[in-house]
Amino acid sequence: MKFSTRLNSFKTKKEIFFKDYDSKSLTVVDYISRMATVKGLTHVELNYPEHFVGVTVEEIQNVLAKTNLKISGVALRFVDSYAYGEFANPDESIREQAIATTMEAVKLCNDLGGEVTTIWLANDGFDYPFQLDYEKAFNKVVDALKRITQRFPDSKISFEYKPYQPRAFSLIGDISTTLLLIEEVGAPNLGVTLDFCHMLMRKENPAYSLALAARKNRVMGFHLNDGYKDNDDGLMLGSVHLMQTLEFIYYAKKYNYDGLIYFDTFPIREDPVKECEQNIEMYKVLDAFLEKYGLERIEKIIQNENALEAQQLLLSLIKDKMDLLATSII
């Protein structure tokens, strides 16, 4: 399994890792070195342009070689001048800048050996009724993605949807709209990144969104985390929606997902190294439970469409751990 996570998580609780640190002098290279201390982490994800300021690509390549970490991919971060949108921005020059920046990110991702470039359009959306020509905006996003995917036909480009925040409504905010967008773009190298919190915010059941994306053969990335549905909380995997997480991992196995498992969590008050290790452990424990219980047995439960049998899965998970505890106490 390939595990990756966000670099910015490793900027918190600096005193644990960086001795006598000077906040201003710490660079992406230092944070990658810290990420390398996470047991089980195989990849790191970088944001563009954010993480490429003040550091050369060669310096990044050197620290990756030294730490034995790989780049999972590059994620676009549109800030400042993009307040009114990225691919649907009414200002043509800003829109062109967004497209050019995305193309630069894909090229960097390729140069660094990353697998997927992830696009999250933070500002393409609206806040008020009568504020946006929906069809015009949608067409602009389709056009931009056509140009980007055609420019890099051999590169995987993935769209990460989020229903709202920072805008009241995102233009592309759920699984169905994303699949509609992908269909209209018509490029085989465009897929979808499923962010667990974003799906919860949209009140989607994550495994169902995964099944819909898999049905169209468009699954390109996972952003795993947890939350209380209203906000992008970025909590630890399985901490709130354990059964939905288990179901999501079951479907990942069912569809033979072999892509990157990226933790999009925000350890602000926790040691980010330990937090990431626990996310990896949680994924592996839930994955192992599914194997132990038996994928065929689970498939049978699903085919029976029986809620009582489905709840037995949760009971088994608890009992399984209780048995382990009992054994270790004895």
By the criterion CB under 5 A, which residues form the site for Mn ion? 195, 223, 264
End-to-end Cα, the chain, rounded Å: 33
d(CA 163, CA 106): 24
Look up residue 235 and give its DSSP letter: B
Q: Which is nearer to Mn ion, 120 or 250 (CB)?
A: 120
Angle ∠(257,170,74) on CA atoms, nearest 5 = 45
- φ, ψ dihedrals at 172, nearest 5°: -115, 95
Q: Which is nearer to Mn ion, 210 or 290 (CB)?
A: 210
d(CA 263, CA 213): 19
Q: Which is nearer to Mn ion, 33 or 265 (CB)?
A: 265
CB of 195 to Mn ion, least distance (A): 4
CB of 158 to Mn ion, least distance (A): 11
CB of 172 to Mn ion, least distance (A): 14
Q: Which is nearer to Mn ion, 223 or 241 (CB)?
A: 223
Angle ∠(237,46,148) on CA atoms, nearest 5 = 110
CB of 6 to Mn ion, least distance (A): 8
Q: Which is nearer to Mn ion, 71 or 132 (CB)?
A: 71
Kindly give the interhelix angle for 272-293 and 28-35, rounded to the nearest 10 degrees: 40
Residue nearest to Mn ion (CB): 223
CB of 93 to Mn ion, least distance (A): 28
Give the gyration radius of the chain's Cα atoms. Answer: 21
